[in-house]
Amino acid sequence: MLYWDTVNGWGYWDTDWIWSLALIAITITIHAIGVVVIAAAMQRLKDKDAHRTHPFLESGLGTVMLIVGVASSLVVFHAIECVIWAIVYVHLGALHSPADAVLYSVDSMTTRGSSGLFLERQWRLMGAAEAGDGMLLFGISTAFVFYVMVRAWKSEFI
């Protein structure tokens, strides 16, 4: 441990930051790849659907199913990202139970923060960093769902 890590009660922030920044980079990468894969799948569906006499994706039910499918896929990515944070919490000894680690991670990622669980003292900064990561990830998801909705309804409004 370096001298400056303990000056004025700053604690072990150097290790917290390294783990947090690595996890943020990993989860944003997963999310970005997920969004690209979903967008490519949507394009393939749209291309196949365009050759039909009555395109399903241009119907109200098709639009709803598309939005639900996209949102559900994004939920899976968020769950995977929470589990990654939870695995690291258990690995570092910040939380000892995998179930508690997943609950804490979901709670932090959604910025709800009321699970009643706390990380071990030297890892507490990671919870705040995960909340920041969650805001970024949910922002990406929200923007993408909005993009899907605009794209799905574009033909109706033009």
Domain ranges of the chain: 19-157
Q: What is the pLDDT of residue 156?
A: 53
In the predicted model, what is the mean pLDDT of residues 10-36?
89
Nearest to 95 by CA among 113, 85, 13, 132: 85
Taking only the tens place, the pLDDT of each residue in 43-100 is: 898 888 878 777 787 778 888 899 999 999 999 999 999 999 999 999 999 999 999 9
pLDDT above 90 (res 38): yes
The percentage of the chain sitting over the pLDDT mark of 90, rounded to a whole number, equals 58
Q: What is the pLDDT of residue 82?
A: 97
Mean of per-residue pLDDT scores for the chain: 87
Q: Report in angstroms the alpha-carbon separations of 126 from 1, 13, 47, 92, 110.
A: 18, 9, 43, 11, 14
Fold of 19-157: Helix Hairpins (1.10.287)
Q: What is the pLDDT of residue 52?
A: 78
Helices 124-157 and 60-92 cross at an angle (nearest 10°) of: 170
Q: What is the pLDDT of residue 158?
A: 41
pLDDT above 50 (res 3): no
